[in-house]
Amino acid sequence: MDATTILFWIFASISCAAAVAVVATQNVVRMAFWLIVSLGSVAGLYFLLSADFVAATQLLIYVGGTLVLLIFGVMLTATGPYSQIRTSPGEALLAGGVGSLFLAMIITTVVSVDWDSLAAIQQQDPSYASYAHEPGFNPAEEGNTARPLGLKMLGISLEDLGRTDGSLSHGYLLPFEIVSIHLLVVLIGASYLARAKRRSRPDQPS
């Protein structure tokens, strides 16, 4: 086994174990902590897939930001000590059933794909092959994805370079702008909700 495989197994098992711990824990803040561990290991998996930018974003936003939000959320709702969440056996059974159905679906999907022939098809496809083996300016070990991603945000796809049949892809120019609208909606929604809460208790300002 090479280092990548070993690291994959380590991080995959950490993220699965932490995910199970999220469900099994009853204390909300511990749940948030295990969630962070799980999300952090997913960032490790992204790094292993050479998606350095996405992985760092995952760390910055989920691990650094979401926990803060979660804890504040807990603080807003918490009334009893440690705000325990107890599940009744019926709920546990239902959740277990839905969870195992979903797991079964994923497993069937993974098993039903013939990975060897897929790899062969990908090797035959010239555009995929050149893309996959494109070493890029930096060695892949140092990360290669940030600049192609940035160019895509300007509507330029590096896969199109030298392509003459006019079948250009559009990059992510439109999604990029839509993201900003989306964030605006979230921003205004958040401040609206905060105000709605405040209005309901006019006798207690702030």
**Within positions 74 to 133, which residues make up the interface with other proteins, using CB under 8 A?**
75-83, 126-127, 130-131, 133
Which C-beta is closer to other proteins: that of 76 or that of 111? 76
What's the CA gap between 19 and 12, in Å, rounded? Answer: 11
44 lines the binding site for other proteins (CB under 8 A): yes
Q: Which of these ranges, 15-23, 49-57, 91-99, 106-114, lies near other proteins under the rule CB under 8 A?
A: 49-57
End-to-end CA distance of the chain: 58
Beta bridge partners of 27: 84
Q: Tell which residue, 169, 151, 147, has the closest CA to residue 160.
A: 169
What residues numbered 138-167 form the site for other proteins, per CB under 8 A? 138-144, 146-151, 153-156, 158-159, 161-164
Cα distances from 196 to residues 74, 138, 176, 188, 191, in angstroms, run 19, 51, 30, 12, 9
Shortest spacing between CB 86 and other proteins, in angstroms: 16
Question: Where do we find the tokens 């370079």?
Answer: 161
Residue 103's identity, in one-letter code, is L
174 lines the binding site for other proteins (CB under 8 A): no
User: Of 166, 180, 199, 203, which lies in the binding site for other proteins, with binding defined by CB under 8 A?
Assistant: 180
49 lines the binding site for other proteins (CB under 8 A): yes
